[in-house]
Structure 1
Amino acid sequence: MPFPSPHPDTTTGPVVLDRREGPYGEVVLRRHGELLQIIANGCFLMDTSDGRSERLLVRAALDRLDRLAPGTDAPALLIGGLGVGFSLAEAAAEPRWGRVTVVEREEAVIDWHRGDGPLSAVTAEALRDPRCEVAHDDLLSHLRAAPGRYDAVCMDVDNGPGWTVTEDNGSLYAPSGLALCREALRPGGVLAVWSAQPSPTFDDTLRNAGFTRVRTEEISVARGVPDVVHFATKPA
């Protein structure tokens, strides 16, 4: 579908480029000045302002995998959530990754990256990479069908374990959802979970779900509390 290319007057606020109603509620792409922003059910998810923490999510997962499972050849990566595409772009820019699979449940978000969509500038090169694929699927369903398929799982589908886009997303961070993440990993594999704010109890939840080497890394942002990435490892 064609998308408008407005030149907004930023004094009047954001301009909506696309608005869709889907099975999980409303999803909106809007432009505010030079920024593109994704809003889901009225909740701000992300924009194109920085991407440092989303890129770190992928980069640090590989670094951690290198330390814990040195010599892993062309590790397979699963990214939960396409968003504005920073995580996918980071993965595609790293030749050490093997297969890179992004699972995105919102068809609208995938459309925004296709062809000349508004977000195509971020991911066009990655989507041409034969290692990369985007699966239109629910993350839990994908994990359930993928035992032992991945060396790293990077989750960036919400604002964090305690701040989900939809209520049912809470199951991703519950023991049952984390068990599926663990089972989708090969022994020694790494789980990395992005969050817009620290979640002090989540580390314990990861340990209780059978993960080891649990830690949290903070990423400074321009304003407010740091973003964080929670890391955990499936025992070898």
Structure 2
Amino acid sequence: MQQLDILVFGAHPDDAEIGMGGTIMKHVQAGYKVGICDLTKAEMSSNGTVELRQQEAAMASAVLGLSARTCLGLPDRGLQLVKEQIDQVVAQIRKYRPRIVFAPYWEDRHPDHVICSKMIEEAVFNSKLRNYMPELPAWKVDQVLFYYINDVSNVSIAIDISEQQADKEQALRCYASQFDTSATPDAVSTPLTNRYIESVEYRDALLAQAQGWRFAEGFATKKPFPVSLL
């Protein structure tokens, strides 16, 4: 199994695309190996089916140019800070040995995003312990960064995605069952079907404005992000 430079965790398929699809593509275009791990299959979503959501995730992965995408199949709306679930995340980290791990920001209106964030932090810590799950070689992640799915606050890092924004939108539109009520029979209106993709674009544009860019994605850190030169 090839090593990844970046491994992005999300509670549901489409979380990573919403929060950092442009950043993923920018790093793929620069030669980085990037993967996504979805903790659940989003089986509690009001629209679409699990099978359709997996097909949509595969299409979005192709647009993003991912080196790997996995789904742990943990229960949607049943994520918990328990060893059985955290160990599955640890196994992913040790399998792919990423330098950088991304998780959802630790404050969000969706409870699954919040618990996912905590689970990833726990797993990153456990992954470096040699005597924890000793059947898998320990791995120390260099840095954990947090991306925003809904509201944005306390941005520590902004990344210019002006050249990637159109492709980010293409990746998001792969999830037609979530963002377009005309895409599936018996679809119902949700916050995601109310011009959500446009709202993500507005958010990215607003964050970029102060930098003189067209579009940007923001990230938070809990510890200093090391650089050699500014």
TM-score (norm 2): 0.42
Q: Flag the structure with more relative contact order, 1 or 2, with Cα contacts below 8 A and sequence separation at least 6.
A: 2
Structure with more strand by fraction: 1
